[in-house]
Structure 1
């Protein structure tokens, strides 16, 4: 349902009725004046709202009695070590299946958190601290929800494979690899043993599957355990169509169609590269490597804003960490080693590890390394190197107190466009103003980068709607001190061709963002970093999105030979370097770039070239600091694009490009290394997120590197990892692999 905005207020919810919370600009748009333009998952499902809450570091969670016998309205999904973490995912029920504006949404979240707060006796600081904030995500469809459970899901009814220890060498350590993706074919032959009857998949959670009323081990979706998967294999054999239908995996609850019924999916490809074993490729199905899968909802891939994913992704990490502990206890594994392949990303964010989801994941990985066992997080560098989504506004770009960004908005775009401007940490931008000029050179809206004194509590913030000639909102400009650390300006524009014809459209063409400042403002010490959110449609889900981009004349896109330029043009604010995946900048992430062979399939790793799309960190020192650590194959050659892996059904193949396909090669090799590496070696390698354990082509780098070597390192990292298999590829001739 389309909800109406009740005064466009984003003040804190009334603390007397719940925990004080407030909404970020993304939530204020998607659940307020811009909800008509949001995805159907937000418009059509409002009964079970999902969110990520940030608690104070000092929170002390102790279970006590239920809240005065009140009917349950809030739940936690599976949580791992929640008492020691600052972030927690949760779901709250909205009995009216409709939310009348941001204020009503805040009050709903507030009441839900109060119920969970009362039950867990979070210390008194929680009710008043400014850090109490939430990030709202896509609602859980009603058919996927298990509302009858208690505040936590029940423990899984899982038993270890009693014969596993006898089938593997005693010198091999049972190691766990986890894959978070979409369209995961958990019964695929490539994840079984040589006989094809036993699976290596211990757990798989399909977050958007129709709930099984007989199951209470997950809050939403369905969970499959090894014994259940093996029963399905025994019953249906090679008829995987019937297997997935009977298992309830062939129907999603999002009206987008089940990915498991497609010929190929991103998740099937990635999972096969990370953990698949096929006899025709000469692979050994190493049974000591156990698999956990989490299939994200389709809406997470469909989203183009960076909004809507946090609760589902953080829940996936909690689930993986919890189930890894279950596996470790069942098989008697001391200090269980875990590798997580997370082939997902977005282009926006602050790129310092400080976005809510990144900070939450970082905190979990660091805690598990300290308390439980080695934990590697492998992420792709991103695919937006040439997409003109990143710009850097430095002091030299100001002329008479102004700097200008040309933002090209495409026609026939059915999704909103989002642009973020980030200032350096602890910087006071109060003398700056952001103005938006439309394609007809009309000034449409401006906002000082200051806080509105009428908005009490929470991060200092302000916002102003962009109105059309009829006075209807077609955009939003906001400023907020994100998590009390770094100022952000967010500019949102409505679609140029809205899905609902009754909604007003924004004009296509060149919009101009003018950054102006007072005459006596001190020069910038660090530049303003700008990122446009990606608008990709990775699984062909028909979102109707068209990518906006920075359109600056000084950005030279082609070389004199007519090739795409892979270097930044002098004097241009549009940058290729600095386009790194916004979810890959945490301190615990091992960032993987993508390469192609330089002279065909027979060429060596020494001569590889970065894939043209493979993103990289900044070349300059300072923020953003994250850099590519290593690289692997994402294109076989310039003409043979992509890599080859399994399709959804056993025996099928798929071709997929992107750094998402380079990351699982690294995750696979790291998992195999974890099986045999000594404790001291692994513990020492954690300081570099296990980069030193990688086997590949290491290129020496030093202070005397020429420009091309510096650029190559920025995109390929320190070591180039060979794929374990690709048609026609042979790395046996590379003498510097080690």
Structure 2
């Protein structure tokens, strides 16, 4: 058996993947891949799986009745109680804040019967769904080290009805909440608590999604700690005025902070850490924050659920489900704590993936835009991404009647699946396109129409799956997904996919020229876990990696001869309409970080590039910016746009605190969704003009000893940035003046 066209229902889901009706629910091609491989790379066929859903606007049987996440969750307790055998929804969606009652995005856990019922009993209810991670048996493993004894306060968060909308507290101060969603949040760190003999935490709620000790596998998962729970742990671990932070995490069974360094701790410090010393971990810090005259925001945080303790997903299948759960949890808790008073919420989400529609239509981007539009005052800050020079974006013109090949370099010793997404124009007639896939060493597929599901099984297992769905759930355009098995296996009964150059040839049989975009999905192992994934990429001999062989070329040529593009590399969650997207630059000379991802989005009307840029590197010699390690008194360096985003989140929260503390209704800073506009305006007003720069910064490039080889603004080694790299707007650090720049 080699290349085979599959028809009929999926082995597990039962969905008919070929020729779905025009009015059917938009399905996720990753589920088709999971079907063909029997969930082999996701822990085996599950009983329950997590999904994220977008609902239709109205109930199918009552066109005048709005269909929302709340009414759908209520229906599962009443008229549609029988559905709970195969779909269950968290109470965070059943009892939302009043601002979010009209939201139509939610998550759920479902059995395989759900996928049959979306075209049956639920027809016209679900608009689209996207696959999350299966609920695997490994998720139930204890979070404690063997033989340890831990006090386990808290349970999984379960919600009840909110207070009536009319119960407002008019004289209460305006609250500003900072919400951080990340991995490895050292909640006992001094930056997030007082430095008194009996310390008190500044964190009001902490939801550890990854904790299985206190909750069964189900729709309510993880463990929640309120400030009182955290203070109780801190009090138990104080001796002679010193806090034993390791004992705090040991008592709680929290493994996320046991490493010396954690991404989430640094991000949270940059976003809302209060410093008890003179080390400035964030570039954007007011003197008032050091003296206490500017109060810090109130902290809410979420430890993300990792993709199973025995299976580490590096493709991002887990992300949308747990990110939406985290956002909705933070907004509900902020509403509870405000208790009827006015409040603002700033959320930092320093995560992102490379593949996706890149036009703002992904399900998580649509959900975030909807929440920003509904909420009274919500800002969501995301990083631009770090894939500018990773060779993971292809822009491929295909003239009518011709074909064009894409070379996909898949690396050896990669223990995770690889994914290539090819996005077609929305109005294309896919029946006139064919695709041919040739693995390293031959055995190429036939040139099959894209409107098929093909698999390659040269031996015991499916090694390659090509999926086309005319109505894809992961975006509004049409997409071809090509999924590969890992190139190395630790299971003798499974075959690895061959490493090397895979060739994907697209033929255009239509009457019009086409422009095809493709992205390789991110494949990166989280820090602290055994290395599994290796990032695959595109290959083209015409691609130029360096300028005169001296330094990395971080821009596309005006007349590029290659189809591999640095443009259009924004993160797959950074192309929405209302989120604030932050790029990165170097502190000492103001030059762009070569890795900082570039716009525009495919729907240029939504985004031409990042809204602003913040510091992510201190200097050429000192990579990253300093922020908190997982233990008090230590700092480590964090690079990437993940370090830039929380600094802008801090700036937003600080601005809101100052405006409301002065008793002023913001005039230049209006309620959301204008945070993006405010950040753009602020950055443009602060970024130095070329005339104000020190002369040496406009001189020869130190890498080539020649004048800049491209016009001003197109290169990382000149002071100004293209709009698609962050525009002219950069949020300066206090060290600007030290390099001769006058603001």
TM-score bracket, normalised by the shorter chain, equals 0.7 to 0.9
**Aligned twin of 2:533:** 545
User: 1:539 Cα shift?
Assistant: 1.0
Aligned ranges 1:543-582 → 2 under 5 Å: 543-569=531-557, 570-582=560-572
User: Does 2:96 correspond to 1:89?
Assistant: no
Match of 2:131 among 135, 141, 153: 135
**Aligned twin of 2:614:** 632
Partners of 1:68 and 1:442 in 2: CA distance: 50
User: Does 2:314 correspond to 1:316?
Assistant: no
Partners of 1:516 and 1:174 in 2: CA distance: 57
User: 1:27 Cα shift?
Assistant: 1.8
**Aligned twin of 2:261:** 264
307-316 or 186-195, larger mean C-alpha shift: 186-195
**Aligned twin of 2:207:** 205
SS where residue 514 of structure 1 aligns?
strand
For the 8 Å contact 2:425–2:478, the answer to whether it is kept is yes
Partners of 2:229 and 2:26 in 1: CA distance: 43
**Aligned twin of 1:240:** 245
Aligned ranges 1:391-430 → 2 under 5 Å: 391-395=394-398, 398=399, 401-430=402-431
**Aligned twin of 2:112:** 106
For the 8 Å contact 1:362–1:587, the answer to whether it is kept is yes
User: 1:8 Cα shift?
Assistant: 8.3
User: 1:679 Cα shift?
Assistant: 2.6
**Aligned twin of 1:455:** none
Between the two proteins, the alignment pairs up a number of residues equal to 642
Change (3 A) 1:133 1:341: closer
User: Does 2:71 correspond to 1:75?
Assistant: no
Change (3 A) 1:668 1:548: same
User: Does 2:56 correspond to 1:56?
Assistant: yes
User: Does 2:198 correspond to 1:189?
Assistant: no
Match of 2:506 among 493, 499, 515: 515
Partners of 1:572 and 1:504 in 2: CA distance: 34
**Aligned twin of 2:491:** 500
Match of 1:473 among 442, 462, 472: 462
For the 8 Å contact 1:34–1:474, the answer to whether it is kept is no
Q: TM-score, normalised by structure 2?
A: 0.78
Change (3 A) 1:399 1:127: closer
User: Does 2:393 correspond to 1:390?
Assistant: yes
**Aligned twin of 1:708:** 712
Partners of 2:690 and 2:429 in 1: CA distance: 38
User: 1:320 Cα shift?
Assistant: 0.8
For the 8 Å contact 1:351–1:624, the answer to whether it is kept is no
**Aligned twin of 2:577:** 587
Partners of 2:115 and 2:194 in 1: CA distance: 46
Structure 1 stretches of at least 4 aligned residues deviating more than 6 Å after TM superposition: 19-22, 67-71, 149-152, 215-218
For the 8 Å contact 2:554–2:595, the answer to whether it is kept is no
**Aligned twin of 2:654:** 672
SS where residue 518 of structure 2 aligns?
strand
For the 8 Å contact 1:665–1:723, the answer to whether it is kept is no
User: Does 2:467 correspond to 1:486?
Assistant: no
Aligned ranges 1:319-358 → 2 under 5 Å: 319-329=329-339, 333-334=341-342, 336-358=343-365
SS where residue 277 of structure 2 aligns?
helix
Aligned ranges 1:595-610 → 2 under 5 Å: 595-597=585-587, 603=588, 607-610=589-592
User: 1:575 Cα shift?
Assistant: 0.6
Partners of 1:523 and 1:530 in 2: CA distance: 17
Deviations along 1:59-117, whole A, 9 cap, x unmatched?
1554365479879642315223564122111124xxxxxxxxxxxx5315667x99xxx
Partners of 2:741 and 2:690 in 1: CA distance: 18
User: 1:700 Cα shift?
Assistant: 5.7
**Aligned twin of 2:307:** 299
For the 8 Å contact 1:175–1:337, the answer to whether it is kept is yes
SS where residue 547 of structure 2 aligns?
coil
For the 8 Å contact 2:460–2:494, the answer to whether it is kept is no
**Aligned twin of 1:25:** 29
**Aligned twin of 1:175:** 176
User: 1:698 Cα shift?
Assistant: 2.3
SS where residue 634 of structure 1 aligns?
strand
Change (3 A) 1:693 1:126: farther
Change (3 A) 1:71 1:435: closer
Partners of 1:445 and 1:576 in 2: CA distance: 31
Partners of 2:391 and 2:188 in 1: CA distance: 40
Could you tell me which runs of 5 or more consecutive residues in structure 1 were left unpaired when the two chains were aligned: 14-18, 93-104, 115-123, 159-164, 251-257, 451-461, 598-602
For the 8 Å contact 1:578–1:624, the answer to whether it is kept is no
Partners of 1:358 and 1:187 in 2: CA distance: 32
For the 8 Å contact 2:359–2:603, the answer to whether it is kept is no
Partners of 2:322 and 2:78 in 1: CA distance: 26
SS where residue 562 of structure 2 aligns?
coil
Partners of 1:699 and 1:686 in 2: CA distance: 27
SS where residue 552 of structure 2 aligns?
coil
56-65 or 620-629, larger mean C-alpha shift: 620-629
Partners of 1:662 and 1:56 in 2: CA distance: 36
Deviations along 1:358-392, whole A, 9 cap, x unmatched?
11122112111xxx2x2111111111111100010
Q: TM-score, normalised by structure 1?
A: 0.79
Deviations along 1:183-241, whole A, 9 cap, x unmatched?
1112221112353723221111000113436x999911111111221222222121111
Partners of 1:577 and 1:540 in 2: CA distance: 31
User: Does 2:285 correspond to 1:280?
Assistant: no
For the 8 Å contact 1:628–1:715, the answer to whether it is kept is yes
For the 8 Å contact 1:419–1:490, the answer to whether it is kept is yes
User: 1:715 Cα shift?
Assistant: 1.4
Change (3 A) 1:319 1:129: closer
Partners of 2:607 and 2:325 in 1: CA distance: 27
Partners of 1:298 and 1:7 in 2: CA distance: 24
Change (3 A) 1:429 1:701: farther
Partners of 2:361 and 2:322 in 1: CA distance: 18
User: 1:566 Cα shift?
Assistant: 1.4
**Aligned twin of 2:148:** none
SS where residue 637 of structure 1 aligns?
coil
